[in-house]
Amino acid sequence: MNKLRYQLIVLFFFCCNCLFAQSVPAWGGGADQEDQSFGFTFSYISSYYKIDKNPDWRKPFIDNEGTKVTDSLRSINSPNAQGFAVGFLSRYSITDHLEARIAPSLIFADRSITYVYNTSSLNTTKAVQSTMIDVPISLKLKSDRLGDFRAYITGGVKYSQNIGSKSNPNANVAQLDKVVRNASGFASYEVGIGCDIYFEFFKLSPEIKLSNSFGDVLLHENSAFANPISKLLLHTLMFTLYFE
């Protein structure tokens, strides 16, 4: 009986040792062990414009010489457009559950606006070409760590600067060939949710984030495609992978 008791005690401690060994989390490459750490990011982007129209947006466009350039408009809309981004991450730990992040990224994402006229042959889709640098600053509120996992929410602001368009692509161009342009720089707010997943040598953080511009991003020009629009607001959905 005593032998069996000793065997059970040894088996108990062996099982406890296995359980505690399995509960020891991976270090994630030490990303959370320092106040500051760095990483890189890859993002998938889906964006579109919310369009506020002028009261007389349906009217045909008449140029400065009195020539009727377009027919009456039936609709203006902005379909979803896809893009991607690559960037750099710097984080600073404020407390065990709160950190500040800055993650400048190079954005490759074109948006578009579709114009539908009473004369269908005039229907067109104008691409708003842009290569931008985004500089978001955010706070990340983290849950307690459960093994190799923790959830978080994030929110902040960002500034976007256009770096990829010509100075004035509409100069000396026929009205129907003009493009729609965004302001060279604008600010947005963003909110998101994500989780930290700890591996042996690094930490991976998948994140879904919504971003909306604070105000009008349209560069207002006297053209058939800018005149009907009172305001453009940029809405963006981003899925990002952070590697630390």
The number of distinct structural domains making up the chain is 1
In a domain, 8, yes or no: no
Q: Report the alpha-carbon distance of residue 162 to residue 183 in Å, rounded.
A: 8
How many angstroms separate the CA atoms of 42 and 148, rounded?
22
Contact status, residue 43 vs residue 87, Cβ threshold 8 Å: yes
Q: Is residue 100 part of a domain?
A: yes
Tokens 């609709």 label which residue? 75
Domain limits for position 236? 27-243
The per-residue pLDDT for 165 is 60
Residue-by-residue pLDDT tens, the chain, 244 positions: 444 444 444 443 334 444 433 444 555 556 777 888 899 999 999 999 999 999 999 999 988 888 888 889 999 999 999 999 999 999 999 998 999 999 999 999 889 999 999 988 889 999 887 789 999 999 999 999 888 899 999 999 999 998 866 566 666 777 888 888 888 899 999 999 999 999 888 899 999 999 999 989 998 888 889 999 999 999 999 999 999 8
Is pTM, for the whole model, over 0.95?
Answer: no
Report how far residue 59's alpha carbon sits from residue 125's, in angstroms, rounded to the nearest whole number.
18
> Does residue 125 fall inside a structural domain?
yes
Q: What is the pLDDT of residue 161?
A: 92
**Which CATH number goes with the domain that contains 48?**
2.40.160.20
